[in-house]
Amino acid sequence: MRGAGTLPPGRKVALVMNADAHILAVATAVPPFVLGQNEVMRRIDLALGPYSREIVRLLPMFGNTGIDRRYSCVPIEWYEELHEWPERNQVYLDSAVDLLESATRRVLQRAGRRPEEIEAVVAVSTTGIATPSLDALLMERMSLRRTVKRLPIFGLGCAGGSIGLARAAALSRANPHALVLFLVVELCALCFRRDDFSKSNIVATALFGDGAAAALIASPGEGARIVGGGEYTWPDSLDVMGWEVTREGFKAIFSRDIPELVTTKLHDVAVDFLAEHALTLADIDSFVCHPGGAKVLDALEIAFELEPGALGNARDVLREYGNMSAATVMFVLERAIADSKPWKRALVSALGPGFTAGFTLLENAS
């Protein structure tokens, strides 16, 4: 076991839960505007390149991300103008609810359920501010029952897909026979800043896309069983990842050390989480990982003792959709559930601000 990520004595990473919450279905949704990676790079070069040699030096990054295209809630021309926070957040509100409605209707259709059956909603998002929260806005849009239990979650960043799924499972167990709707939507592309020449802005521009996902969870039910969830937040790591709030909106914060942190510290934390369930990495058939970027995926394969290129579903999602923050791992999960290759146990994992690792353990009866 690598020593870099060893937990303090007596520290447990897992929150053990009763094994009776099931994922009935998962569905995803993306906005209509396609951002081809080459086109984004060309426009960045034209718009910012003449003013910064550093921007020109960073352009090859676009070709090294493992991304072919992404989706955006606004056309690419929108990003060429300056937009302050109120306008950006209004775009976020309008687009986020549209995407959540689309994903919700799709997941209900897949599960053969009706909107009026939903008794609780867990909604994760960190790329805008909504008060009333997105779940309340969706409740009004879709005429959900007035007694729906609502749990909006903000601030988990990329870890929100895994941690939020575990929270939804806990809510399902607390309300047996209730149908719980888990939602996640992130409009990361809105963080691009036309007048920001920093490396973090260019990295975000090369990686981020928009998307949403929905899952239906019931206890009892059929489908993959959510066995447990847990998380671990490393000390002195608050500056690794997050948002800086400015007049123009959110500005991405990335540490260049993220791949190194994953390589050296995640392994032991994951091992300790699995040990709480009397499992090892060798007992996991499917690793459902948030693909933060190509280098992060390489680091994840090292941390989880996998062969290079083993995280195929995650790499495919990254190539086709980019990094959609918390929503991305749900796109990977959707593919894992539909995968023709059978699996008994799956580990859903994601890393986010804190700096925090989030895990959800699944078992498949089929």
The DSSP secondary-structure symbol of 106 reads H
Residue 191 among the catalytic residues: no
**Cβ count within 10 A of residue 4:** 13
Three-state secondary-structure class, residue 69: strand
- Residues forming beta bridges with residue 348, ordered by sequence position: 288, 360
Is-contact 150 348, C-beta < 8 A?
A: no
Element (H, E) at 151: strand 149-153
**Host H or E run for residue 185:** strand 179-187
Segments in the chain forming alpha helices (H): 37-48, 53-58, 85-111, 134-142, 160-174, 199-207, 258-275, 294-303, 312-321, 328-338
What SS3 class is residue 223?
coil
Task: Please choose, from the candidates 98, 23, 19, 34, the residue with its C-alpha nearest in 3D space to the C-alpha of residue 334.
Answer: 23
Query: Which of these is catalytic: 73, 158, 188, 289?
Result: 158
Catalytic center residues: 158
